[in-house]
């Protein structure tokens, strides 16, 4: 068969895009129905929230594709004018208006005469227009917000702002205030954000309380994750007896469908298949440690390198000896301790302290030293790394959260 006509593995397992064959609506949660109900009812802002890489955007795009909605990226909105101008570009709107007034004064003038060409004789008459014309032209520019507001007032297609948490908070306030009356008139306005920023719409504008609908997209259960390889392997004709392979993959995903799509794609390639085979094939186990270590190099090593380096300082940090014979400074020690917990995606200070004691051969750091490092890592993750912070330390709860499944996966496999 011509390879161009064969089903590609990468068409089935889609990493970071919108899957079709392996799309799992998580039917038991009724998420799609809630989205559809919102489109039917309107008159509220819809906030779709969930941890990073849990399929929020995929879910919304499945119900509100780009052909039926106006999609904006929060990362590209730095001012309220950016918001209006992006919508204007999407709708093909213009802000310039031109008025023209023309008047003409015309007169006809005739000319006649004869001609002679060999044996032919005749006459002709030619008429021409003489006169003048006058006119005036006035051009003015309308503000882009006025043009867009007129265009979207009563619009049935929703406006979706992905990664709304990337929009500066003062700009969020301007946007929410600007669209409040449009939402009242029926505009569907959807924002997608991470959990701790899900209520930004209400935080920035108190009057929106009661006018914001929340849909939470949580981490995936093992059974929901298994739906991806079940659909994909069936479409490709791959056999996984007793589902041992897919269950092994699910154990390492940190509840992320993104990682599951990636693992399934790489497992097919590790078995030597990039296209659907002509007949069913049973997949074989790879060498698991090598398989996962290789994937970890493409996960969040950059984030790890930035965090383990810590903030810049003039003095050299104290090296501490680990039980495995290596030496690391306090940033390396704490990340090593976190990784030894699994890592778990939520760790109290006591959890981290216990793991530090198991890692270090020398005396463990004081509480204030550990807390200072955890707070510094959180600041670095927010300031120096693009995207959602990979770690976040809540001082009040004395708890560290690993918010990025790819970073958790790197800590588990990339540090081994």
The pLDDT value recorded for residue 118 is 43
Q: Is residue 126 part of a domain?
A: no
Q: Is residue 113 part of a domain?
A: no
The pLDDT value recorded for residue 382 is 86
Of 259, 286, 313, the residue at which a domain comes to its end is 286
Q: Which residues lie below 8 Å from residue 109, measured CB to CB, with a gap of 6+?
A: 127, 128, 129, 130
The domain total for the chain is 3
Query: Do residues 378 and 230 both lie within one domain?
Result: no
Tokens, residue 234: 């069936």
CATH code for the domain of 345? 1.10.10
With the C-alpha atoms ordered 127, 128, 130, 136, is the resulting torsion angle positive or negative?
positive
Task: Tell me which residues of the chain have a pLDDT lower than 50.
Answer: 111-126, 198
The pLDDT value recorded for residue 119 is 42
Query: Do residues 148 and 179 both lie within one domain?
Result: yes
**CA dist., res. 45 & res. 38, Å (int):** 9
The pLDDT value recorded for residue 116 is 43
Contact 260, 249 (CB under 8 A): yes
Of 195, 216, 237, the residue at which a domain comes to its end is 216
Q: How far apart are the first and last CA of the chain?
A: 43
Query: Do residues 200 and 230 both lie within one domain?
Result: no
Query: Do residues 253 and 344 both lie within one domain?
Result: no
Tokens, residue 387: 């995207």
Q: Is residue 293 part of a domain?
A: no
Q: Is residue 67 part of a domain?
A: yes
Query: Do residues 62 and 204 both lie within one domain?
Result: yes
Q: Is residue 409 part of a domain?
A: yes
Query: Do residues 53 and 167 both lie within one domain?
Result: yes
Q: Is residue 205 part of a domain?
A: yes
Query: Do residues 165 and 239 both lie within one domain?
Result: no
Of 245, 261, 286, the residue at which a domain comes to its end is 286
The pLDDT value recorded for residue 386 is 77
Q: Is residue 10 part of a domain?
A: yes
The pLDDT value recorded for residue 134 is 58
Q: Which domain holds residue 274?
A: 3-18+220-286
Query: Do residues 279 and 340 both lie within one domain?
Result: no
Query: Do residues 273 and 305 both lie within one domain?
Result: no
CATH code for the domain of 59? 3.40.50.300
**CA dist., res. 305 & res. 307, Å (int):** 6
Query: Do residues 190 and 328 both lie within one domain?
Result: no
């Amino acid at each position: 068969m011509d390879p161009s006509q064969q089903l590609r593995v990468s068409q089935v397992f889609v990493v970071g895009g919108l899957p079709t064959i392996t799309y799992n609506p998580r039917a038991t949660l009724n998420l799609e129905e809630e989205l559809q109900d919102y489109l039917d009812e309107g008159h509220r802002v819809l906030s779709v929230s969930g941890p990073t890489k849990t399929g929020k955007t995929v879910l919304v795009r499945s119900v509100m594709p780009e052909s039926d909605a106006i999609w904006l990226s929060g990362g590209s909105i730095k001012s309220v004018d950016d918001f209006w101008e992006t919508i204007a570009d999407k709708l093909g709107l213009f802000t310039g208006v031109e008025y023209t007034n023309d008047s003409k004064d015309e007169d006809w003038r005739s000319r006649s005469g004869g001609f002679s060409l060999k044996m032919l004789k005749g006459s002709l008459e030619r008429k021409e227009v003489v006169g003048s014309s006058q006119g005036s032209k006035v051009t003015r520019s309308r503000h882009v917000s006025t043009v867009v507001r007129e265009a979207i007032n009563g619009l049935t297609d929703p406006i979706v702002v992905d990664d709304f948490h990337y929009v500066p908070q003062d700009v969020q306030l301007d946007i929410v205030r600007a669209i409040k009356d449009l939402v009242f008139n029926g505009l569907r306005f959807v924002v997608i954000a991470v959990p701790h920023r899900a209520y930004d719409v209400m935080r920035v504008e108190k009057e929106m309380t009661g006018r914001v609908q929340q849909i939470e997209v949580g981490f995936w259960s093992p059974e929901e994750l298994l739906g991806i390889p079940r659909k994909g392997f069936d479409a490709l004709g791959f056999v996984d007896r007793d589902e041992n392979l897919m269950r092994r993959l699910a154990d390492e995903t940190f509840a992320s469908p993104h990682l599951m799509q990636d693992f399934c794609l790489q497992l097919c390639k590790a078995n030597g298949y990039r296209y659907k085979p002509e007949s069913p094939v049973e997949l074989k186990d790879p060498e698991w440690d090598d398989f996962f270590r290789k994937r970890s190099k493409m996960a969040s090593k950059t984030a790890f390198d930035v965090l383990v380096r810590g903030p810049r300082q003039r003095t050299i940090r104290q090296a501490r000896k680990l039980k495995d014979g290596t030496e690391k400074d306090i940033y390396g020690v704490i990340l090593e301790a976190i990784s030894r917990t699994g890592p778990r995606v939520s760790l109290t200070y006591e959890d981290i302290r216990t793991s530090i004691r198991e890692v270090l051969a020398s005396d463990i750091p004081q509480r204030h030293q550990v807390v200072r490092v955890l707070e510094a890592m959180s600041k670095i993750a927010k300031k120096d790394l693009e995207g959602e912070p990979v770690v976040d330390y809540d001082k009040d709860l004395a708890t560290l959260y690993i918010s990025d499944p790819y970073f958790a996966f790197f800590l588990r496999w990339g540090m081994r």
